[in-house]
Amino acid sequence: MPRSLRIPRVPHYLALLRAALGLTQAQLAGGLGVSRQTVTQVEAGERQLPPAAGLRLEWLTQARPGLPLPPAPSPDPALLRTRAAAVAYEIGQLSRRLARGQARADRALRWLRAAPGLLAALPTTAGGDQKWLAAVSAEAEDALEGEGSPARHRLLAARLAGLRAEATALAADEASDNAADDAADDAADDAATDDATQTAASLSED
C-alpha cells in the first residue's frame, strides 16, 4: 500500500529530488501523477504528498540513492492501542494452545515409556488388555504427531516469541507517545503560567 509521506520532516525534499533529477515542477508532477500546484505546495511545506504518489516517489528516488526518503508519519495512537489489544489476545490464546500441546505431549511420552513394561508383563491370555494397550499407544503416537509434536511446539513457541516482541515494541511506542504528550502539556502549562504572570504584572503596574 502506498505510504502517506509527510514532506516537511525533510525540508524541501521534493525540491532537492527535482533538482537532482533535472526536472521542472511540471515534469515532476507528471512523474508523481499529481498537479503542478500540488508539487509547489508540498515543496513549500503547505501540504502532504497524496498517498497514491508514495510508491512513485520511491521509484523516482531510486535514481538518486543519496537522497533518503522522508520517514513515514507516526502511526495513529488509537491504531497502536487497537493492535496492542489484539496482540495481547493472541498471546493469551497461543499461550494456552502451547500449554495444552505440551501437556498432551508429556502425557503421551509418559505412556509410551510405561507401555513396553506393561506389555511385557501381560499374560499371554490377556488378549483384550493387549488390544487396549495397543489402542492407547496409537493415541499417544498420534498426539506426538499433532498438537503435541516437537515441530509444532517449536513453531508455536516461535510465533509466541514474535508476538511478545511486538507487544514490547508497542508498549515502548505508547510510553514514548505518552511522554511526548506529557512534555507538550507541561510546555503548555508553563506558557499559560507565564502569560498569567505577565498579565498580573501588567495589571499591577496599571
- Give the pLDDT of the chain (206 residues) as one tens digit per residue: 344 444 434 446 788 888 888 889 999 899 888 999 988 888 887 888 887 787 788 778 777 666 655 555 566 777 788 888 999 999 999 999 999 888 989 999 999 999 998 888 887 766 778 888 889 999 998 888 877 788 888 888 888 998 899 889 888 877 665 555 555 555 555 555 555 556 555 545 55
The Cα–Cα gap between 8 and 16 comes to: 13
Per CATH, the number for 7-61 is 1.10.260.40
Cell 505431549 found at: 105
Among 113, 90, 56, 58, CA closest to 167: 90
Count of CB atoms situated within 10 Å of the CB of 57? 22
Q: How far apart are the first and last CA of the chain?
A: 62
Residue found by looking up cell 489402542 in the block: 135
What cell was used for 84? 496492542
- Look up residue 56 and give its three cell numbers: 512513485
What distance in Å separates the CA atoms of residue 137 and residue 158, rounded to the nearest whole number? 29
The helix (run of H) or strand (run of E) holding residue 36 is helix 36-43
What pLDDT sits at residue 75?
Answer: 65
pTM above 0.75, yes or no: no
Per the rule left: phi > 0, alpha: psi between -120 and 50, beta: everything else, 64 is beta
User: What are the domain boundaries of the chain?
Assistant: 7-61, 77-193
Contact 38, 47 (CB under 8 A): yes
